[in-house]
Structure 1
C-alpha cells in the first residue's frame, strides 16, 4: 500500500503541519505526566488504526523508559494491572473522547469525574487537547494511508 499524499511536499499542508507540530510540542511541555501522554497517544492511535502514530508513540515511550509490558497492554488496559488509577482514568477519557459518535452525549459524567479526581484543571485541559490533537493526526494519516515502521525517536522534535 502506498501513501496517497505527501503532506510535506504541499506548501499549504506544510505550513499547516508546521503549526500542528508546534502545538504537539506545546502539549508535550504541559503539566500532564509524560508517561500518561504517551499512553493516551498510543491508545488513540490504536483505536483509529494509525500505524504511523502507533510506531511513533511506542518508540518514543520506550525511549523515555516505558516498559514493553505496559506498551503491549495499552490496547487491553481494562484487563491489565500495570496502570495507575490516574492512567486508567486518562485512557478511559481518551477512548470516549475518540469514540464520541458511539455514545449519546460524548464523554459521560462518570468518566469525566474519574479523570477530574486525578488531574487538575491544567492537566485535564492538556488531556482533552491531546485527545483532540491525536484524533486529528491519526485521521490525517489514516485517510492518506501513511505508512508506519520507519519512525526514528526524536524525528519530529
Structure 2
C-alpha cells in the first residue's frame, strides 16, 4: 500500500474545497437523482483509480438507494440487467467524458442524443458538472496518494 504523499490539496487551500463543495451543492440542487449521480461518481472514480472516491461513491450510491448488485457491477453495467435506460445513458456519458482522449470524437452524437432523451439541458449541465468535479477530485487524490477512509 502506498502512503499519502501530502495532505489533500483542497484541505491545504480551503477556498478550493469550498469551490468544489459549491459545485456539488449546485449540481444536487438541480434535482438529478442522487443515486444516478453517485453511480456516475463511482464509475468515473473506478476508471481513474481513485480509492477514496470509489469507496465514497459506493457508500453514497447505497445511501441513495442503489442495490448491492448495482454497486458491485457498475464497472460492467453494459453486461447486467440492473441499470435503467436513464442510468445507462448517464454511465455512458460518464465514461466518455472521463476518457476524452480515448477517441477522436470523445462524445459521439449517438451517445449525446441518447443522454438528451433522458435529461433536459439543465440536467445534462448538472451531470456534466458532476462528472467534471469527480474527475477534478480524482486528479487531486491520485497523485497525492490519498487513502480511502483517511479523511
TM-score interval, smaller chain? over 0.9
Q: CA deviation at 1:4?
A: 1.2
Aligned equivalent of 1:35? 35
Partners in 2 of 1:113 and 1:95 — Cα distance?
Answer: 15
Distance 1:105 1:139, change over 3 A: same
The yes-or-no answer on 1:5 pairing with 2:3 is no
Structure 1 runs (4+) greater than 3 angstroms displaced: none
TM-score normalised by structure 2 residue count: 0.92
TM-score normalised by structure 1 residue count: 0.89
Aligned equivalent of 1:117? 117
Partners in 2 of 1:95 and 1:106 — Cα distance?
Answer: 10
Structure 2 segments unaligned to the other structure (5+ residues):
none
Aligned residues: 149
Q: CA deviation at 1:2?
A: 1.4
Partners in 2 of 1:95 and 1:8 — Cα distance?
Answer: 25
Aligned equivalent of 1:68? 68
Root-mean-square deviation over aligned CA pairs: 1.4
Per mean C-alpha deviation after superposition, the further-off stretch among 126-135 and 14-23 is 14-23
Q: CA deviation at 1:24?
A: 1.3
Partners in 2 of 1:128 and 1:9 — Cα distance?
Answer: 24
Per mean C-alpha deviation after superposition, the further-off stretch among 65-74 and 142-151 is 142-151
Distance 1:114 1:16, change over 3 A: same
